[in-house]
Amino acid sequence: MTHMTPTCLSDGRELIYFDASPEASAAHRDVSAVADRRGLPPRGGTGDVRYDPLTGEWTAVAAHRQTRTHLPPADQCPLCPSSSVNLSEIPAEDYEVVVFENRFSSFGPDLGTLPGPEAGSTGWGTTTPAYGRCEVVAFDSSHEGSFGSLPPERARTVIDAWAQRTEALSALEGIRQVFPFENRGADIGVTLLHPHGQIYAYPFVPPRAAVMGQAARRYFDAVDGRGTLMGSVLKAERDSGERMVLEGEHFSAYVPFAARWPLEVHLVPHRHVPDLAALTGGERDELTTLYLDLLARVDGIYSTPTPYISAWHQAPLVPELRESGYLHLQLTSPRRAEDKLKFLAGSEAAMGAFINDTTPEKVAATLRAVTPAGKEAQ
């Protein structure tokens, strides 16, 4: 059972301790022991989002993020537990998992609903507050690592934290998409070595989620609600077996038939659920095991850790896309060889037309052949 202990930082931002052990939870309920002693100034106001009439998309303008911390040493890390020489973002002297509002937030803290362009108007020049919320999820108190380096019990607590925050953020005014993710590796642009991820609660459905959501809805309507697009794709991949990496009772992982990235794996629940909050305890248990197995295989391909983006796609919070939405993880990496990265050049960056340098079938076979530590090859 995961215990939650909410509190606030000295500038008013919310912080929540998530603990599997009752002892840790009890320690975090001692307000005097976990008070933020930094005396931070009041947090700044909400940034802006600007409407692009050529695409119908919103762009966040968050110039204040230029001053965020960049690759600090352990004794200055903002995600390590606080000490006498480092009063960090986490006041406690130790912790299991912590979620708190990002000090350098792209969205929020104000909440509200974005306007739609008026009929017959281009919408040019439309600027509104960047409503929403951005949170940091510190996976562990250790200074270096990633989700894949966590022990199973800690990984399970992180999954519970993702689920709880998904449910809580989904209930906030104006939120249209809740997106948990982890960036791992300097090649991805990571600015903190501490094992952590983030959760964005957007005031709009982001472009990629909108495209996927619309495709899912078209399929759902075409079959009169008797099936889902993701469920049908999952069945096709499992029936084929050619690109499968892992199969469990509740989840399966495969390299998609039309993978866009040199290394891309989808981890999908067998049951149609909209988000992490809807998973049962048994499903979360298996997700913990399979996800750690998958990350170990990804790191086992090469002699050095693989940079990746781990993106949880959850059903958008708009009625027309929610019903047909289907939770799944998309794990992608630009690494196309031991010493080579794929860069998004003309076709990908300008036109959104991806050209993959690897074959999904070969990547899947490579991942299946990796033997994670302590396991036999499958």
User: SS3 of 363, please?
Assistant: helix
Taking CA atoms, 128 is separated from 119, 125, 134, in Å, by 18, 10, 17
Kindly report the length of the chain: 378
- Known catalytic residue at 196: yes
Instruction: Tell me which residue of 145, 148, 97 sits closest to 294, measured CA to CA.
Output: 148
Alpha-carbon span 74 to 80, nearest angstrom? 7
Tokens 């989002």, located at residue: 49
Under 8 Å between Cβ of 333 and 297: no
First to last CA, the chain: 32
Under 8 Å between Cβ of 150 and 86: no
Q: Which two tokens stand for residue 264?
A: 């891309």
Tokens 């305890």, located at residue: 281
Instruction: Tell me which residue of 202, 159, 109, 171 sits closest to 310, measured CA to CA.
Output: 159
Torsions phi, psi for 129 (to 5 deg):
-60, 145
| Eight-class DSSP state of 374 | T
Q: Do β-strands 328-333 and 335-337 pair in parallel, antiparallel, or remain unpaired?
A: unpaired
* Catalytic position from the list 28, 64, 70, 196: 196
Classify each residue of 109-128 as buried b or exposed e, where b means 16 or more C-beta atoms within 10 Å of its C-beta. bbbeebeeeeeeeeeeebeb
| Residue numbering of the annotated binding site for Zn(2+) | 77, 80, 143, 194
Active site residues: 196
